[in-house]
Amino acid sequence: MIRMKCEEFVELVTAFLDGALDPATEARFVEHIAACDGCDRYLDQIRQTVQELGELPPDSLSDEAQDRLLTAFRTWQR
């Protein structure tokens, strides 16, 4: 089994929390959590954030703020 790097872990956190990883990837993800103190703390922080914020209503952002965020996401490059 190929070991997961922290960068890949971060990219997969949302899919993991949504239960959307295939079994092999989920196994690598869980293996990584067990071995990486930084990533297990990161996962806990994301879980806490989701729990605290819950679901925001769609109209909680102004149209201008929503447009700026969507533009930022569309133009974001790695």
Locus of tokens 């960068």: 7
Q: How confident is the model at residue 78 (pLDDT cuts 50, 70, 90)?
A: low
The Cα–Cα gap between 26 and 42 comes to 16
Each residue of 5-37: pLDDT tens digit? Answer: 999 999 999 999 989 999 999 999 999 999 998
Handedness of CA 71, 59, 54, 15 (dihedral sign): negative
Listed in sequence order, the residues at least 6 apart from 39 whose beta carbon sits closer than 8 Å to its beta carbon are 6, 9, 10, 32, 33
Q: How confident is the model at residue 44 (pLDDT cuts 50, 70, 90)?
A: very high
Residue whose C-alpha is closest to residue 17's, from 57, 59, 45? 45
